[in-house]
């Protein structure tokens, strides 16, 4: 699969790159970013996938999450995928929370979304294979994290594929989308009216039914303006009821912005690194 380099920039001891390729999963060109620490010059390093939230591209977290310094110090790579297919002929909606920029990390089964909106296959299957083939990363040492819609994606993907992801964390995830307008609206559009088809993409339900074999780290701002849509209490209750190893931490004064993500990024990078390296 051909890979086009859009940019490569020195960042701390490593390199921040942006790349484009033709995706078989989405049928579109897809852009993603990879940070490689200095340690990758000496051989494959563990890799942490960062899934972004609503309205984001690969660029938001790459420039706002302040991850590169900590990844370089910890000796792990970080990959920033896009959040949806884009381009001419790709379905869209006027609302910010549906369509381009709002793929919700599912494979759409409904028109007009199903031809291109196959973000589950893209993030879980296609992009990891591409990254492992082209960069000095260890595909057997992968973790996954994300913010908001991306936290939802990270948790559901990791609990569905615990054999592929050794670690999982999330920043302010959409925790119970089948009971939220950030979920029911999108799942109806992408997956249809049968709520049973939605269950595989709800972190709270997956936590209740299967959990994760390792520890789970969740951080949530107590002043988050979207708490009613995120429903963190549902996931916290499910973790407690299951006695899931890990931590669910509420942070006074923090909202939903990238200032919150920046504040906890070092914690997450080193938490994953301790379990992956």
Query: Annotated catalytic, 224?
Result: yes
Both structure tokens of 2? 């051909």
Q: Is the bond preceding residue 112 a cis peptide, omega within 30 degrees?
A: yes
Q: Sign of dihedral through CA atoms 258, 31, 170, 40? A: negative
Query: Annotated catalytic, 148?
Result: yes
C-beta of residue 75 within 8 angstroms of C-beta of residue 277: yes
Query: Annotated catalytic, 97?
Result: no
Q: Which of the residues 148, 202, 254, 272 is marked catalytic?
A: 148
> 17 forms bridges with which residues in the sheet?
8, 34
Q: Which of the residues 116, 147, 256, 272 is marked catalytic?
A: 256
Q: Where are the alpha helices (DSSP H) in 127-191?
A: 127-134, 149-160, 181-191
Residues in CB range of 47: below 8 A, 6 or more apart: 76, 77, 78, 79, 131, 137, 138, 139, 141, 142, 143
Both structure tokens of 89? 């002929």
Q: Which of the residues 72, 202, 219, 224 is marked catalytic?
A: 224
Phi, psi for 144 (deg, rounded to 5): -145, 140
d(CA 190, CA 211): 25
- Side-chain-side CA neighbours of residue 130 (13 Å): 25
Phi, psi for 4 (deg, rounded to 5): -105, 125
d(CA 149, CA 103): 9
d(CA 43, CA 77): 12
Residues with a known catalytic role:
148, 224, 256
């Amino acid at each position: 699969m051909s890979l086009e380099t859009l940019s490569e920039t020195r960042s701390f001891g490593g390199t921040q790159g942006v790349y484009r390729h033709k995706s078989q999963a989405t049928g579109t060109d897809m852009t993603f970013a990879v940070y490689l620490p200095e340690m990758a010059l000496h051989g494959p390093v563990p890799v942490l996938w960062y899934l972004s939230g609503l309205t984001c591209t690969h660029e938001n977290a790459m420039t706002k999450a302040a991850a590169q310094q900590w990844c370089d110090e910890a000796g792990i790579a970080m990959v920033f995928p896009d959040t949806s297919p884009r381009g001419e002929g790709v379905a869209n909606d006027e609302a910010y929370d549906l369509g381009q920029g709002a793929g919700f990390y599912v494979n759409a089964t409904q028109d007009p979304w199903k031809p291109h909106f196959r973000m589950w296959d893209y993030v879980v299957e296609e992009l990891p294979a591409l990254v492992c083939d082209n960069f000095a990363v260890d595909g057997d040492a992968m973790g996954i994290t994300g913010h908001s819609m991306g936290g939802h994606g990270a948790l559901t993907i990791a609990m569905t594929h615990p054999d592929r992801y050794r670690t999982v964390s999330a920043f302010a995830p959409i925790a119970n989308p089948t009971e939220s307008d950030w979920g029911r609206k999108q799942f109806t559009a992408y997956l249809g009216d049968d709520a049973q088809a939605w269950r595989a993409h709800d972190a709270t339900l997956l936590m209740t039914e299967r959990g994760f074999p390792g520890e789970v780290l969740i951080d949530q701002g107590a002043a988050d303006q979207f708490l009613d849509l995120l429903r963190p209490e549902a996931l916290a209750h499910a973790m407690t009821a299951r006695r899931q190893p890990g931590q669910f931490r509420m942070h006074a004064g923090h909202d939903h912005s990238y200032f919150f993500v920046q504040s906890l990024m070092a914690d997450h990078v080193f938490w994953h690194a301790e379990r992956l390296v």
